[in-house]
Structure 1
Amino acid sequence: MKKQYNLLVALFLVIFLAACGNESTNNTNTKDDDDSDTDEPITLTLFNADGEEKEFNDAVAQKITEETGVVLEFDYPVGGNEEAVPLMIASGDYPDLIFAKGDIGKLIEAGAVIKLDDLIEEKGSNLKAMYGDQLDRLRHSLEDPSIYTVGTYGVDSPVWEPSGTFQVQLDVLRELGYPEIKTLEDLEAALTEYVEKYPEIDGQKTIPLSLLGSDWRWLITVGDPAGFAAGLAGDGQWAVNDDTGEATYKFLLPEIKQYFKWLNGMNAKGLLDQESFTQTHDTYISKLSSGRVLAIADQNWNFGDADMALVADGKEWRTYAPLPVTLGEEYVHQGIKNYGYTGGWGIAISSTTEHQEKAFEFLDWMASEEAQILVNWGIEGVHYDVVDGERKMKEEDRNRMNTDANYGKETGVGYYVYPFPQWGIGAVDSSGQPITPNNEEQIIENLNAAEKEVLSEYSMDNWTDWFPPAEELGVSNHGQAFSYNIQAGSDLEIIMQKADDLTEQRITQAILGDPAEFDQAWDSMLEELEAMDIARANELMTQKTQDIMELWGTK
């Protein structure tokens, strides 16, 4: 009995001491069990909503680990699964770092991510220097003006490479004598003339215009180009008055109807790819890579692989020129507008990680000058050299960067810029040098020979010269509405989701339908939007926009 008694006493003491230790740990402000007790790298898991399968083992990744003691382990939504974050919340099992895009609000409401304000104030010298007077744009809302995320977009990011607008093959411009293509009417005339002249390209049927409306890319190849053509800024599904904050669901506007009526006519005339709303991304990229698609309406990052394939195949004249095409010359294209730092999305630190402090230190280091040079340029002597005090990409790396879609993934150069904190392509380091190799001068130098010849014919240096200048468009007071964090389960979120689902379906049907029935189809869609109380969504989005402007001090 005495032995058993002594054993019980010893066991009680162990449990008591352990409990005291746990209480001490739970009373700390941040979790960091053993980060300072070992020289071994710490693995931080990162969920990236835009991620892909990737090992953190390239040259740049190894250098990041050397400097920070952190190894990243990536997780991502397979097949673009939109339920990844809700499932994460339901399970309560969170990675250390989370880039959830528009679902960040759900994580905040679930208590899944921590507030970063105190950490930024105490330990975020690099982040404070990077964001400067834009720091308030990281704040969540008027009701909760805390900072939960950092990163995603560059702070100083002028547009030197227009994207998201119509893109037309260089050969179309050359063959037609370098015409001015400013309106949809101009574009249609050019495509019609070229396809009549060349019904086939390399033995395959010429496709005048192809879109990718079979999945979420409907938004960027069908919905967004309608707004640009109507002179709207890049606010996603919304048209926003930048002075008052008044927001309108853009598909209610008559000019948006005019755009889709034009697409309906293009389809009826056989000028629109019949697979535009059924093809996969792989099929789309394959078509573009063949050189037989004359025009697209797309973001550069979505068709970049095809562009590289064309250059690698010696088909530079089959690459594309971005054009500021609008409904008519009275509309002002917003393609190179400066939106300021948009905020909204970014990387958050989970509330369950054992390495909160280390995770924050890592994010702050990524905002440092040293990190920005590394992730943008790579490693000195490996990817770039310093010549007369200036960084110069090695010729092989420069060529691969422009022609090899796997370059970033294999080397790490440029791969860890998004969605991490980033200075932006317009920033310069402490020596006055561009922080990225993609500054305007280098972008112009990187243009292929066909692009340079076309630009010369139009007496331009860069494609931006074709667009209304950013100085005339002004800096947005409200950022970009598509990036706002909308409360999960709110009336605004519910109505928006229903409206987006409806418009995607009904507009697709209207485009592919009989032109004689287009007006009726459009009016029917407007009635359905009215029935789901789209007016209420307009009111709520207007209030949201005005709150954002007040939070940022731009109202």
Structure 2
Amino acid sequence: MKKKLSFLTLSLLFTITVIMAGCTDKSSKDSSENSGESSSTEPLTLTFYSADGEEKTFDDPVAKKITEATGVTLELDYPVGGNDETIPLMIASGDYPDMIYAKGDIGKLIQAGGVIKLDDLIEEKGENLKAMYGDQLDRLRTSLDDPSIYTVGTYGVQNAYWATSGTFQVQLDVLKELGYPEIKTLEDFEDAITKYKEKYPEVDGQKTLGLSLLGSDWRWLITVGNPAGFAAGIPDDGQWAINDETGEATYKFLKPEIKEYFKWLNGMNDKGLLDPESFTHTYDTYIAKLSSGRVLGIADQDWDIADADKALVSEGKEWKTYAPLPVTLGPEYKSPGLKDYGFAGGWGIAISSTSEHPERAFEFLDWMASEEAQILVNWGIEGENYDIVDGKRVVQEDDRQRKLTDPDYGKETGVGYYIYPFPQWGNGAVDSNGQSISPDTEQDIIANFNVAEKEVLKEYGMENWIEAFPASEELGVSKHGSASNYSVPPGSDLQIIQQKADDLVTQRITQAVLSKPADFDKLWNSMLKELEEMNIEKANEEMTKLTKDKMELWGTN
């Protein structure tokens, strides 16, 4: 078992490594210096670390097909216990896996010379990647100062918006019991939860919970911070509110409409409508509550609650699953649930500077962008997961049912498991025969709604939930992508100030939400003063520059 370094030791090692990297830029090595190897399908094991990975072996049916086609078996590594020190520890030790998905820490690896530039490899050997990215290739480039490409993958290039995620959601049974009311504002949302909770104070012998959040870990960002912005009509730019025309960025918790949201949440808590454990319970407890059917409202990403949704369906509790709603502070705001951010660029999979097989690693990533690979990772294996009917791929019925009810389906079969964070065409792409590269077309999404969803949608005169939301075309395509995917320069004023600010608002907003309503304004104003004292305006200026530079790099300014 690896020993953890002390923070002081880690800091010293990291500093020394970065200094050394400045003297010897490993990332500047071209492919001829890295390896003389050529394309091959000889058996080879490559190590792959994913910041979003989990314990798993690369031996499911889809993985075996990938190995059969490429010769590559992946040895998968992941952050144990949510350890966010993994990348700094790699840099400090100089011990890197062959491929790395570092998410927002990619800038640290680039600075330390821990990953190689991929430009020459893409030009010489990246036919599939070039075809996949097309005119979006520039979005992979790091910055104006260093317009090199270090990563590929993570997000789809051609995206369609047939479903929302991250919005407010309410139980289907609430809508049915209340006669299918229109719910568009926080006031509507609160009213519906209040009425249902008064009518049914208990569910299966347990206390009914109004709105439950998960603010005890990193999910504070997606269940507490993000919904505040969505309610104010602010698209998902992480902790920022950005003017898409000018690139001007503001730390979003400075905005008065964000305060208005949290003041509402404070009122929900005071009225007993907010789960009192929203900032203390664990993820497992949160999912268990949702799976019990006693939580009326949530504000979370669909992928975060997927296990609870499948558990409810498998237990015949379809009416306890949730309907996504375009809830905002008021009618003057537009819910950004269907916002088109374009191809995000930014994060992706890098090849380490210490890999003994950089070309094979690159060839593997390029193959993952091929049509053959995209069909395999999205659909699985013909005859086992899907059949060809009248010339078209059709998911087998037992697979379709298992996909809807079994949380381990992807992990055990490999179907859908290797889409993210690898290169992916996107759910809006079609193959050479004009068929959708993804089995999750709008028609499939509609067909897979459970019985209760279909009944509720019919009552509202809709086929799909997205019909209740402002359309993607109405919201427009983002010129700057999404700031949540930017790689902020490590050690910069922006990185240091934002980290301090994020830590502060997580604590202070939690305290303000749980306070007496009479104390809310005082606590909020005190937080704003602390943000001012840590020079949050400097962070605003730096993020504005980063955004404008990104738009210039992409040619969207």
Could you say which TM-score interval applies, normalised by the shorter chain? over 0.9
Does residue 294 of structure 1 match 2:296?
yes
Amino acid at match of 1:110: A
Residues 231-288 of structure 1 show CA distances to partners (whole Å, capped at 9, x for unaligned) of 0011010000000000000000000000000000000000000000000000000000
Q: Which residue of 2 aligns with 1:43?
A: 45
Contact 1:32 1:358 in 2 (8 A): no
Q: Which residue of 2 aligns with 1:5?
A: none
Amino acid at match of 1:65: T
| Identical counterparts, % of pairs | 73
Amino acid at match of 1:132: G
Contact 2:168 2:298 in 1 (8 A): yes
Amino acid at match of 1:376: N
Q: Which residue of 2 aligns with 1:499?
A: 501
Does residue 485 of structure 1 match 2:487?
yes
Amino acid at match of 1:348: A
Does residue 31 of structure 1 match 2:31?
no
Number of equivalent positions: 529
Q: Which residue of 1 aligns with 2:207?
A: 205
Q: Which residue of 2 aligns with 1:254?
A: 256
Q: How far apart are residue 144 of structure 1 and its match?
A: 0.2
Structure-to-structure mapping, 1:371-410, within 5 angstroms: 371-410=373-412
Cα distance in 2 for partners of 1:409, 1:36 equals 29
Contact 2:232 2:258 in 1 (8 A): yes
List 4+ stretches of structure 1 deviating above 6 A: 33-37
Q: Which residue of 1 aligns with 2:18?
A: none
Residues 69-95 of structure 1 show CA distances to partners (whole Å, capped at 9, x for unaligned) of 100011110111111100110000000
Q: How far apart are residue 354 of structure 1 and its match?
A: 0.4
Structure-to-structure mapping, 1:121-136, within 5 angstroms: 121-136=123-138
Cα distance in 2 for partners of 1:252, 1:468 equals 26
Does residue 71 of structure 1 match 2:73?
yes
Q: Which residue of 1 aligns with 2:243?
A: 241
Cα distance in 1 for partners of 2:435, 2:392 equals 7
Q: TM-score, normalised by structure 2?
A: 0.94
3-state SS, counterpart of residue 478 of structure 1: coil
Alpha-carbon distance change, 27 to 527 in structure 1, aligned in 2, over 3 angstroms: closer
Cα distance in 2 for partners of 1:188, 1:70 equals 53
Cα distance in 2 for partners of 1:430, 1:77 equals 38
Residues 392-418 of structure 1 show CA distances to partners (whole Å, capped at 9, x for unaligned) of 000000111111100000000000000
Alpha-carbon distance change, 28 to 249 in structure 1, aligned in 2, over 3 angstroms: closer
**Of residues 55, 80, 83 in structure 2, which corresponds to 1:81?**
83
Residues 473-495 of structure 1 show CA distances to partners (whole Å, capped at 9, x for unaligned) of 11000000111011111000000
* Structure 2 unaligned blocks of 5 or more: 1-28
Residues 379-403 of structure 1 show CA distances to partners (whole Å, capped at 9, x for unaligned) of 0011100000000000000111111
* Structure 1 unaligned blocks of 5 or more: 1-25
Q: How far apart are residue 31 of structure 1 and its match?
A: 3.3
Contact 2:39 2:363 in 1 (8 A): no
**Of residues 445, 453, 473 in structure 2, which corresponds to 1:451?**
453
Cα distance in 1 for partners of 2:359, 2:206 equals 58
3-state SS, counterpart of residue 178 of structure 1: coil
Contact 1:232 1:334 in 2 (8 A): yes
Residues 197-238 of structure 1 show CA distances to partners (whole Å, capped at 9, x for unaligned) of 000111111001100000000000000000000000110100
Q: TM-score, normalised by structure 1?
A: 0.94
**Of residues 108, 114, 121 in structure 2, which corresponds to 1:119?**
121
Cα distance in 1 for partners of 2:68, 2:172 equals 45
Amino acid at match of 1:266: M
Q: Which residue of 2 aligns with 1:305?
A: 307
Larger C-alpha radius of gyration, 1 or 2? Answer: 1
Cα distance in 1 for partners of 2:157, 2:549 equals 21
Q: Which residue of 1 aligns with 2:4?
A: none
Cα distance in 1 for partners of 2:67, 2:226 equals 39
Q: Which residue of 2 aligns with 1:185?
A: 187
Residues 139-185 of structure 1 show CA distances to partners (whole Å, capped at 9, x for unaligned) of 00000000000010111122212110101000000000000000000
RMSD (CA atoms): 1.2
Residues 456-504 of structure 1 show CA distances to partners (whole Å, capped at 9, x for unaligned) of 1101110110100001111000000111011111000000000000000
3-state SS, counterpart of residue 34 of structure 2: coil
Amino acid at match of 1:439: T
3-state SS, counterpart of residue 108 of structure 2: helix
Q: Which residue of 2 aligns with 1:13?
A: none
3-state SS, counterpart of residue 111 of structure 1: coil
Alpha-carbon distance change, 118 to 186 in structure 1, aligned in 2, over 3 angstroms: same
Cα distance in 2 for partners of 1:82, 1:225 equals 24
Q: How far apart are residue 40 of structure 1 and its match?
A: 4.5
Residues 527-552 of structure 1 show CA distances to partners (whole Å, capped at 9, x for unaligned) of 00000000000000000000000000
3-state SS, counterpart of residue 373 of structure 1: helix
Cα distance in 1 for partners of 2:554, 2:34 equals 31
Cα distance in 2 for partners of 1:58, 1:160 equals 29
Contact 1:151 1:421 in 2 (8 A): yes
Q: Which residue of 2 aligns with 1:11?
A: none
Amino acid at match of 1:147: I
Alpha-carbon distance change, 418 to 28 in structure 1, aligned in 2, over 3 angstroms: closer
